[in-house]
Amino acid sequence: MGVAAATGLWWLYFDLATLIGEHQLDRTHGQTRLGLAVHAYGYAHFPITAGVVLTALGVEGVVAHADDGKALGGFCAWALCGGAALYLGGLLLFGRIMLNAWGGFRLTGLCLLLAGIPAATALPPVAALACVVVILAAVAAAETRWYAELRRMVRG
């Protein structure tokens, strides 16, 4: 399940975001390009990186408590769900900077992850991680289908 969560994070970043960022930087020059690079690959990547680290901390908490028969607990639930939500927030910021657009699927995933924190505290650790994986997979699947034509244009 931890590998599935990492794969979900990876897919949401490398499937389309990096390609669009690269194309946007290729189309701009001078101060505009510098501003995009600083804001998108500097400021927007702080929450992306922090989200990866926090999600990994949450997954570590799941692994540490998977067999003790207790609920995940607040700290690990906040790290797991909050980390994935922070990651999606960073991706939303990246998209806003690069394309001047908000990603509706990512925003929905972020809201679901934040809303699920109270439930994750009471769930068994593996179940809480499974919920995060399902949300990330749903966002990735929805984007894969919705943006199929854009993906072909960017990659083609």
Could you state, in order of their start, the residue ranges of all structural domains in the chain?
A: 2-155
Backbone phi, then psi, for 72, in 5-degree steps? -60, -40
* CA dist 134 → 8, 25, 43, 120, 127 (Å): 9, 33, 28, 13, 10
**Tens digits of per-residue pLDDT, 2-46?**
999 999 999 999 887 888 888 888 989 999 999 999 999 999 999
What pLDDT shows up at residue 111?
98
Sequence letter at residue 83? G
Phi-psi region of 100 (alpha: psi -120 to 50; beta: other; left: phi over 0): left
Q: How many CB atoms lie within 10 A of CB 68?
A: 9
- Give the list of residues 6+ apart from residue 42 with CB closer than 8 angstroms, or none: none
pLDDT in tens, 102-121: 889 999 999 999 999 999 99
Burial of 145 (0-12, 13-18, 19+ CB in 10 A): exposed
Q: Are 3 and 130 in contact (CB under 8 A)?
A: no
Backbone angles phi, psi at 99, to 5 degrees: -120, -5
| pLDDT band at residue 79 under the 50/70/90 scheme | very high
